[in-house]
């Protein structure tokens, strides 16, 4: 079974005191909505959180997920990845998904799972925008797990994935949802007006 790892340990620093992962989407916190979409794939879901006492834990209450406390999150995205991936169980591959991607659906996740089955010669399978910009969800082959221990800084996994462009299978979605996030109160307000 390929687990899904939702990265939800960031600081929401541009939200000026609000937590973007707790912003309401369809009547529930975004993190809960995205987690439920992941659970609907019937894969095991893990959620990386900053610590045991973080308010985001309440958004997961009652859901059949495993919360991973990741103190390394204070170092930025690379720290979150290192700390969370170390805690995943043995698996042939794992899917990674940013916790603030409001438009990613269960069908999108299943599409990337299907891409891995159809193109087993690759090491990375990921969603992309209409124009081919790299996005999410992303599946990594388990052979790459040791490489995450080498990540530093807040650049995420780009230092890992860039050299593997020729071993990456892209699935272009019909719009920009593979990269669409909302980082500021103004972006949230504009999105709500448009939906």
CA distance to 15, 34, 49, 115, 125, per residue, from 22 (Å): 11, 11, 13, 31, 28
Query: How confident is residue 177, by pLDDT bands cut at 50, 70 and 90?
Result: very high
Mean pLDDT lowest for which of 19-23, 85-89, 165-169, 170-174? 19-23
**For residues 38 and 144, what is the distance between their CA atoms, to the nearest angstrom?**
22
Of the candidates 81, 103, 94, the one whose C-alpha atom is nearest the C-alpha of residue 33 is 103
The fold adopted by the segment(s) 4-194 is Spore Coat Polysaccharide Biosynthesis Protein SpsA; Chain A (3.90.550)
Residues 6+ apart with CB under 8 A from 85: 5, 94, 145, 148
Query: How confident is residue 17, by pLDDT bands cut at 50, 70 and 90?
Result: low
**For residues 34 and 25, what is the distance between their CA atoms, to the nearest angstrom?**
10
For 100-159, how does the pLDDT look when each residue is reduced to its tens digit (9 = 90+)?
999 999 999 999 999 999 999 999 999 999 999 999 999 999 999 999 988 887 667 778
For 21-80, how does the pLDDT look when each residue is reduced to its tens digit (9 = 90+)?
888 888 899 999 999 999 999 999 999 998 777 788 899 999 999 999 998 888 888 889
Name the 3-class secondary structure at 95.
Answer: strand
Q: What is the DSSP string of 114-173?
A: HHHHH-TT-SEEEEE-TT--EEEEEEEEGGGHHHHTT--TTSTTHHHHGGGGGGEEEEE-
Q: What is the DSSP string of 18-59?
A: --GGGSEETTEEHHHHHHHHHHTTTS-EEEEES-TT-GGGGG
């Amino acid at each position: 079974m390929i687990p899904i790892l939702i990265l939800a340990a960031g600081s929401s620093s541009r939200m000026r005191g609000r937590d973007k992962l707790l912003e309401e989407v369809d009547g529930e916190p975004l993190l809960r909505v995205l987690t439920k979409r992941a659970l609907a794939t019937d894969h095991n879901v893990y959620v990386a959180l900053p610590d045991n006492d973080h308010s985001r834990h309440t958004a997961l209450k009652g859901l059949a997920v495993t919360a991973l406390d990741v103190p390394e999150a204070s170092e930025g995205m690379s720290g979150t990845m290192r700390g969370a991936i170390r805690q995943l169980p043995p698996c042939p591959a794992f899917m990674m998904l940013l916790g603030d991607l409001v438009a990613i659906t269960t069908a999108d996740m299943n599409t990337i799972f299907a891409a891995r089955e159809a193109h087993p010669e690759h090491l990375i399978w990921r969603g992309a925008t209409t124009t081919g910009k790299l996005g999410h969800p992303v599946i990594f082959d388990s052979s790459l797990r040791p490489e995450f221990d080498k990540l530093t800084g807040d650049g995420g996994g780009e230092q890992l994935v860039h050299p593997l462009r020729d071993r990456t299978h892209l699935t272009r979605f019909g719009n920009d949802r593979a990269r669409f996030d909302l980082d500021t109160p103004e972006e949230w307000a504009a999105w709500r007006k448009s939906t």
